[in-house]
Structure 1
Amino acid sequence: MPGRERIRSFLETRLFQRAVVAVIVVNAITIGCETSSYLTDRIGGLLHVVDRIALTVFAVELVARLYAYRGAFFKDPWNWFDTTVVAIALIPASGPASVLRTLRIMRALRLVATVPSMRKVVGALFAALPGMGAIIGLLVLVMYVSGVMATQLFGEIVPEYFAELPTSLFTLFQIMTGEAWPDIAQEVMAEKPWAWVFFVGYILMASYVVLNLFIAVVVNAMDDQNTSAEEQRTEDQLTTVLNELARLHARIDAMQSVPQTAQPVETPHGNTTRRSR
């Protein structure tokens, strides 16, 4: 239908997409401003109006996209995400549902679905999840083995860090993030000087090796995604060229199939002959 096609073309224009991004950014800023009692007391009414306008824009945009794309709308996971965010924002922020008011800031995450570069990064992260599973399993195994060893070796020395296995696992997670691990190591090394071997080995394995594996998997997924996108563009360009060649070939065939007509040609002796064209 012409009306549906016009709406779809309008939704896909760069100007409209930039306008939606601007509304998302402004709405995220206003929601953040509402956390300030100083700003709420002075311009709370204005912030509320801006929030209502932004929600109206999001709802109208969602309805327009649903009308323009119909069944194809539900095939895109990002459309489901946008629908969920807008639906949560439409729930009245009163009574038992008042806790959902804090989820309004999730509208800012719509930037991920709107900005192609962000969407590409998130897509690469999801594509890397299967490869991350094995790395997460390796990390869990390293932490479990190290936690059992630390509990048995250092539990009596520093029970506040290694008294039980859950406590040891939490301490090792803290060490993996690099938070205050020198203080923990020095406290243990005061009783067992060789304990540095355990801490250095664990940090090298958990923080550097496993982290680099995570980065390698994500980068590989992004490369595969870029390669797939490039191959798709090349295939689209080749299809366009082939279609154009087919149209030219059909036009040439049509010109050759036109019946030839004869035109009179005057000879030097005054006689008239007919020449085919």
Structure 2
Amino acid sequence: MQEVLSTQDLAPTSRARAARLVTSEGFQRVVVGLILLNAVTLGLETSDTVMAGFGPVLEFIDGALLLLFTAELALRIFAFRGRFFRDPWGIFDLLVIGISWAPSGGDLAVLRSLRVLRVLRLLSVVPSLRNVVGAMLAALPGMGSIVLLMGLMFYVSGVMATKLFGESVPEKFGSLGDSIFTLFQLMTLEGWVDDIVKPALENHPWALLFFIPFIVISTFVVLNLFLGVIVESIQTLRETRESADAGAAQAATDAAASAAHADSGMLLSELRALRAEVAALRAERG
């Protein structure tokens, strides 16, 4: 019975120590360093020359790093238990490490290339990267409206371009699908003058009246709307966290002031009691 009690007493202490370890700044720096080392080794494995000279060494390092990442993940699960599986970043790390352990031979050889996903664990380890990802996820509803607007604009412009330039430039605007793809290339400004605009201008001198407004709206307006939504989301998230930190600091200040007031009241009560005793003693002597 004594042995069971000692084991039960030891378990929470061990989990607390593990939690303090995995959340410590030094431990996080080591994990970041290992992830960066893994990123370098995975990049070197793409070179045939490097693999010919150091292939076994790189494979050994990759296997050792996978074991270390697995041990780190197991330590976090031991420390936090159920809370680990309620954390989206914990599930993300678990999936990334699980994919790395999947067999990579035969038909599953493509999974070997997915080992590079371990580099994405920087998103869950570095707080600033987590903040950016959180802001982007929070911006998805607003971005969805912009995507809908862009899709509507591409569809309407694609139909117009097909009817206007389909016969003269069939390789670019021969069908609705070709027109939408060409308009997407036009939005990226990749070879838009020589490949798209000039062939259309040969038969339609007024074609710039269609292409220039489309470029202005799609490239300089709609894409900047995406950036605006993301920046606003990051700013809102930052203000929310600053407000939460300020609220916590104010609560701590109020608690300290309340405690000091309580101590002052207690001291005042003791002084009054002492004065009453002194007055009673003087009355007895008198």
* 1:98 CA displacement: 2.0
The equivalent of 2:4 in structure 1 is none
Identity %: 42
Rounded to whole Å, the distance in 2 between the matches of 1:6 and 1:250 is 35
SS of structure 1 residue aligned to 2:109: helix
Task: Work out whether 1:39 is the aligned partner of 2:47.
Answer: no
Within 2, Cα distance between the matches of 1:262 and 1:190? 108
Aligned residues: 267
Please, which moves more after superposition, 25-34 or 252-261? 252-261
Work out the CA distance in 2 between the residues paired with 1:6 and 1:222: 34
Give RMSD over aligned pairs. Answer: 2.0
Pairing 1:48–2:38 present = no
Of the candidates 18, 23, 34, which is equivalent to residue 7 of structure 1?
A: 18
Q: Which residue in 2 is equivalent to 1:188?
A: 200
Partner Cα separation in structure 2 for residue 36 and residue 220 of structure 1 = 42
1:192 aligned partner, one-letter code: H
In the other structure, the counterpart of 2:241 is: 229
Alignment of 1:238-277 (within 5 A): 238-255=250-267, 260=274
Provide the rounded CA distance (Å) in 1 between the counterparts of 2:83 and 2:259. 30
1:15-34 matched pairs, under 5 angstroms: 15-34=26-45
- Cα–Cα, structure 1 residues 262 and 138, in superposed 2: closer, same or farther, change >3 Å? closer
Per-residue deviation at 1:76?
1.6
Q: Which runs of 5+ in 1 are unaligned?
A: 265-271
- Partners of 2:240 and 2:276 lie apart in 1 by 57
**What's the counterpart of residue 213 of structure 1?**
225
TM-score (norm 1): 0.91
Q: CA deviation at 1:35?
A: 1.0
Rounded to whole Å, the distance in 1 between the matches of 2:112 and 2:148 is 37
SS at match of 1:194: helix
- Partner residue, 1:269: none
Aligned match for 1:149, one of 160, 166, 170: 160
> 2: CA distance between counterparts of 1:262 and 1:206?
85
TM-score by length of 2: 0.88
Classify the secondary structure of the residue corresponding to 2:57. helix
Q: Which runs of 5+ in 2 are unaligned?
A: 1-11
